[in-house]
Amino acid sequence: MADDDIILSELDDEELVLQMHDDLYDGLKEEIEEGVRILLDRGWAPYDVLTKALVAGMTIVGADFRDGILFVPEVLLAANAMKAGMAILKPLLAETGAPKVGKMVIGTVKGDIHDIGKNLVGMMMEGAGFEVVDLGINNPVEKYIEALEREEADILGMSALLTTTMPYMKVVIDTMKEKGMRDDFIVLVGGAPLNEEFGRAIGADAYCRDAAVAVQTAKDFMARKHNSLA
């Protein structure tokens, strides 16, 4: 069936949500924007649109990315479509005080200008309902520390793609320890040259091999954090 034949506004809620999962998967930005507006017009709460249409759709994308069915370019397209839907929902979510899963500060470390992996993690985290503050590339330790304090974040994500910049992650973690703030944050690290052993050695909470793993790891840590506070 050609996409031209599908008129989103004629689908019932359930069909529309499933169609939006497909459209996200295919990276169809305009269709996602239209779907979000239709559900809102039908009286859906912004948080329900986010979780049932967008987050649920990105979960499918994340699983297929993890299993090697989808690749980075396709995931970036899906994440871009997600972002377009999020842009409509964000102001509404702020008004309704929707529950946040958590807040993450993410950035590539000093001396490193690679950002595709980091961007993908940021988009997928947003897709999972996290608030993400992206510091961009080439971040000195001061910038991380300042952002963590200013944003009252839960998670710090650091990325490095060069073996020469990997050790800088330890500089950041050691500085956090010196300032007595290391235990206040979940620290996740990632990037092509890293591995679990390196993550452990520098004192990170976890090494995440890709964006799908990063999202799952962040969710697990946040669930534990909430349980320990309960």
Q: pLDDT tens digits for 161-202?
A: 999 999 999 999 999 999 999 999 999 999 989 999 999 999
The CATH number that applies at residue 31 is 1.10.1240.10
What is the value of pTM for the model shown? 0.77
Q: Are residue 218 and residue 119 in the same domain, yes or no?
A: yes
Q: What is the pLDDT of residues 66-92, one digit of tens each?
A: 889 999 899 889 989 998 998 999 888
Q: Are residue 69 and residue 122 in the same domain, yes or no?
A: no
Q: Beta strand 103-108 with 155-159: parallel, antiparallel or unpaired?
A: parallel
Task: Please spell the DSSP secondary structure of 17-83, one letter per residue.
Answer: HHHHHHHHHTT-HHHHHHHHHHHHHTT--HHHIIIIIIIHHHHHHHHHHHTTSS-HHHHHHHHHHHH
Q: Are residue 55 and residue 111 in the same domain, yes or no?
A: no
Q: Are residue 88 and residue 109 in the same domain, yes or no?
A: no
Can you give the pLDDT at residue 1?
43
Q: What is the pLDDT of residues 99-155, one digit of tens each?
A: 778 999 999 999 999 988 898 899 888 878 899 999 999 999 999 999 999 999 999
48, 194 in Cβ contact below 8 A? no
Q: Are residue 42 and residue 109 in the same domain, yes or no?
A: no
Average pLDDT taken over every residue of the chain: 92
155, 104 in Cβ contact below 8 A? yes
Q: Which amino acid is at 161?
A: L
The CATH number that applies at residue 113 is 3.40.50.280
Q: Which domain holds residue 223?
A: 103-229
Residues 6+ apart with CB under 8 A from 217: 188, 206, 208
Q: Are residue 82 and residue 161 in the same domain, yes or no?
A: no
Q: What is the pLDDT of residues 1-36, one digit of tens each?
A: 445 578 999 999 999 999 999 999 999 999 999 999
In the predicted structure, residue 230 carries a pLDDT above the cut 60? no
